Chain A
């Protein structure tokens, strides 16, 4: 992990200077946005396949159970092995992901027993595992990085502060022994507490101790004033490393198995027949979903993470029919949501509209007394912005959007109206009834339409040059005639009927 980070930083340092890199990473906004965008990319890529396989809620499943895995692994680490609790430790990530996969398998077994329906199996297993995890957290874990709030929303806003430091020059680690000139010697009473006396009393025994002895990393040494030259340090947030690793894994998995994933998603039977092992691929997908859920736990908690899996692919699904385009669009949507989400949490909607102005307007309109300063959860805001992008896709999608559907329906209704009116005139214009059937002022009655509608349709037909009005009677122009015949022809061909005319 450290090695990976170092390589990455060396690469980055060949592009930017150290000061620039540190300044970039030390800004909470940059780090939070970057982590959010990386989560969004992983989630959207995997979520696309989950959505197409009808397994969207599996991510919900996994995120709930992964929490239990994290808590148990965390307790094992701190209580049994006496390690420092760290939710980005590779062991914890591995253990918790295994827990995620195990639960998926268990739920499948539960509903295959035939006693419980699939939805009930899901609805039962996840609250249970989540409940156990919450009880464990609130009862046994006493740690700032793992409390109920962190479970819910994570702490993406603090991601910048949890860093590994890497030193590139003047890297002198300092060890202070009692003989070192900088060592601070003091004495401590060894039997005061035992005897209940103060160090000034008689009978107190002392020993000499060194208060600042020990090993110092270059960063600590410089801070403690033990080094004269400032070491060249880069502080790299752990969350970014973890999520970069997850993104790389996800990308490799999707690119390497793209053909297999595509086939087993759309035609599992054929994939099986071709020997592609869709079962194994499925487990691979589940493992990656678990890994991403664990990796993202620090940043966004265990519930909101499912938004990154479900919502961007759903939005992309409304925009395109092509898998490859979906795989491009959904990470973009997710990442854009992460970027806008940070702004929203800090009070800017889409980076331009201040939320406080909206609250002020509400206050004025309804006479409320709401506080106008909007400062909210970053991860929840990211989810809200992703949802806002989904809503935009839902309304404005060129093919499946509400708006385009409405326009398409209106067009179809208009075309139908044109055609029936043209057909009506065509049927009657060379007959004896022409004068009664096609009179402009009574025409609407033959269709049982309102007069206004007929006027609109006739105005359109006359503007198109299909119909002309002679002495209050409608008749087809040559162009209108051609139109009717062309339409008749297509209808007859579509129904395989001979032309009797």
Chain B
């Protein structure tokens, strides 16, 4: 298999999933109308649009948070935004952009506080995050309680920032979110190389003269901006889920950052839009939690179904491998025992075979019997003529693998994954196999 073909099949897979998700998203619209009787009013459309746009932004930034293992930082920063909302309200009243700026400043101060605790004390990161998370959050709650005690109607809806409320979103908010979000995405596109490098290999980036500290700060600030944009929809407590869930889901399908980011954006758009629509069905369902549930559904699907990494895939491939190699391994076990107990056609006790081969022994014996390579008798198993032939071949193959392990470097052979049950001639060029055979001859002669 040439590497070019393998890559494009992975690419095709990613595009297929993107198509499927977009299709599912489009299907949701008539489905929600027909089955749940949702009327796509102007409000619902605005909310769904806002949810999708936020999903795209948080999906993209969330990829970096996930890859840099900063998920919990996201958690702390989103909780930390709350006092900013309250203070901004006290100072300037209920104007969304002002509230969000306040949230951003509070969250950013939380970030600096975590860094300060880490730099000047021996407290470890998780504790520092916990301290900032809960203290900032408590400050926010205390300020909100103070605001609610003020006899004035205009504070209504401020507590929507805690759990998020879709109904509170109006068209102007969506415009604001789209504008800022577009700027954030453009920034990511412009400094793509820098962000990618710092995310995967900060030391290498530093050695090549990139200003790692600055790039880290910029990336963290972008994450803060994303969190702040999502507050109105997802709320401070659950924003972290919206940030990282699409990234985690996307990570399962691909090994390439650009594909992961695109996938995460699509996943984010799907969960944001669909979650917002579902919560619009019933005024008792807060939006933030619903989006999280949808996003987690995608994560669950991904870690189960994703090829190569997914749980189901791994389970199936393990099983296929066990089936594929059961007969071969059992044959080898019997042959070895027989050789050391009087000759290739002597009897190997059934208990020994089961003891060595574990669960696959039974399967192997069945397969060997069907192929006429081994036959039961006298409480054990004996190899037939064709079985002995086959066993010799397997033994030789394994010795060639031994030679490969010892001399592959010296003979400049291509690097292979060692699956010793596989016929080495099927994975190495004929010339290379010749070289290994002559090596084997040398070793046998000198012995």
Interface residues of chain A, those whose CB is within 8 Å of chain B, are 51, 54-57, 59-60, 113, 115-117, 119-120, 122-124, 126-128, 130-132, 134-135, 138-139, 148, 152-153, 303-304, 306-307, 310-311, 314, 317-318, 345, 368, 370-371, 373-377, 379-381, 383-384, 387, 390, 394, 400, 402, 405
Given contacts A123-B71, A303-B137, contact A405 B296 (CB under 8 A): no
Given contacts A134-B289, A138-B284, A376-B142, contact A317 B134 (CB under 8 A): no
Given contacts A304-B134, A380-B141, contact A54 B126 (CB under 8 A): yes
Q: State the 7 A-B residue pairs at the shortest beta-carbon distance, nearest first.
A: A123-B71, A127-B241, A131-B289, A383-B138, A387-B135, A377-B145, A131-B292
Given contacts A120-B248, A377-B145, contact A57 B138 (CB under 8 A): no
B282-319 vs A, CB cutoff 8 Å, 1 = contact: the mask equals 10111011101100100100010000011100000000
Tell whether, in the assembled complex, residue A400 and residue B139 are in contact, meaning their CB atoms are under 8 Å apart. Answer: no
Is B69 an interface residue when CB atoms closer than 8 A count as contact?
A: yes
Contacts of A57 in B (CB 8 A): 72, 126, 129-130
* Distance in angstroms between the alpha carbons of A132 and B124 in the assembled complex: 31
For B238, the closest partner residue in chain A by CB is A127
Tell whether, in the assembled complex, residue A376 and residue B146 are in contact, meaning their CB atoms are under 8 Å apart. Answer: yes
Contacts of B8 in A (CB 8 A): none
Tell whether, in the assembled complex, residue A139 and residue B238 are in contact, meaning their CB atoms are under 8 Å apart. Answer: no
Tell whether, in the assembled complex, residue B285 and residue A131 are in contact, meaning their CB atoms are under 8 Å apart. Answer: no
Question: Which of A55, A56, A115 has the largest number of chain B CB atoms within 10 A?
Answer: A115
B406-443 vs A, CB cutoff 8 Å, 1 = contact: the mask equals 00000000000000000000000000000000000000
Given contact pairs A60-B130, A383-B134, enumerate 13 new A-B contacts (beta carbons under 8 Å): A56-B127, A57-B72, A59-B130, A134-B289, A135-B285, A306-B133, A311-B131, A376-B142, A377-B141, A387-B138, A394-B120, A394-B121, A405-B120
Residue from A51, A126, A368, A376 within 8 A of B91 (CB atoms): A368
Minimal beta-carbon separation of B406 from chain A (angstroms): 31
Contacts of B238 in A (CB 8 A): 127, 130-131, 134
Residue from A127, A132, A374 within 8 A of B240 (CB atoms): A127
Tell whether, in the assembled complex, residue A152 and residue B141 are in contact, meaning their CB atoms are under 8 Å apart. Answer: yes
Residue from B121, B138, B149 within 8 A of A380 (CB atoms): B138
Interface residues of chain B, those whose CB is within 8 Å of chain A, are 66, 69-72, 74-75, 79, 90-91, 117, 120-124, 126-127, 129-131, 133-135, 137-139, 141-146, 149-150, 162-163, 237-238, 240-241, 244-245, 248, 252, 282, 284-286, 288-290, 292-293, 296, 299, 303, 309-311
Tell whether, in the assembled complex, residue A123 and residue B142 are in contact, meaning their CB atoms are under 8 Å apart. Answer: no
- The B interface, classified by DSSP as helix, strand, loop or mixed, is helix
* Distance in angstroms between the alpha carbons of A371 and B151 in the assembled complex: 9
Tell whether, in the assembled complex, residue B131 and residue A120 are in contact, meaning their CB atoms are under 8 Å apart. Answer: no
For A60, the closest partner residue in chain B by CB is B130
Contacts of B143 in A (CB 8 A): 376
* Distance in angstroms between the alpha carbons of A134 and B130 in the assembled complex: 21
Question: Which of B133, B138, B285, B289 has the largest number of chain A CB atoms within 10 A?
Answer: B138
Tell whether, in the assembled complex, residue A310 and residue B240 are in contact, meaning their CB atoms are under 8 Å apart. Answer: no
Minimal beta-carbon separation of B123 from chain A (angstroms): 6
* Distance in angstroms between the alpha carbons of A138 and B123 in the assembled complex: 38
* Distance in angstroms between the alpha carbons of A57 and B71 in the assembled complex: 12
Contacts of A307 in B (CB 8 A): 134-135, 138
Residue from B74, B91, B142 within 8 A of A384 (CB atoms): B142
- The A interface, classified by DSSP as helix, strand, loop or mixed, is helix
Tell whether, in the assembled complex, residue A370 and residue B135 are in contact, meaning their CB atoms are under 8 Å apart. Answer: no
Tell whether, in the assembled complex, residue B124 and residue A54 are in contact, meaning their CB atoms are under 8 Å apart. Answer: yes
* Distance in angstroms between the alpha carbons of A54 and B241 in the assembled complex: 23
Tell whether, in the assembled complex, residue B131 and residue A310 are in contact, meaning their CB atoms are under 8 Å apart. Answer: yes
Tell whether, in the assembled complex, residue A311 and residue B146 are in contact, meaning their CB atoms are under 8 Å apart. Answer: no
Given contacts A56-B130, A57-B126, A387-B131, contact A115 B244 (CB under 8 A): no
A-B contact list, 25 entries, CB within 8 Å: A57-B130, A116-B303, A117-B71, A120-B244, A122-B72, A123-B71, A124-B241, A124-B248, A127-B238, A135-B289, A135-B293, A153-B141, A303-B134, A304-B134, A311-B131, A314-B123, A314-B127, A317-B122, A318-B123, A376-B142, A376-B143, A384-B135, A387-B135, A394-B120, A394-B121
* Distance in angstroms between the alpha carbons of A132 and B138 in the assembled complex: 23
Contacts of B310 in A (CB 8 A): 115
Minimal beta-carbon separation of B310 from chain A (angstroms): 8
Tell whether, in the assembled complex, residue A317 and residue B123 are in contact, meaning their CB atoms are under 8 Å apart. Answer: yes
* Distance in angstroms between the alpha carbons of A304 and B149 in the assembled complex: 20
Tell whether, in the assembled complex, residue A115 and residue B309 are in contact, meaning their CB atoms are under 8 Å apart. Answer: yes
Contacts of B126 in A (CB 8 A): 54-57
Minimal beta-carbon separation of B343 from chain A (angstroms): 45
Given contacts A138-B286, A384-B138, contact A371 B150 (CB under 8 A): yes
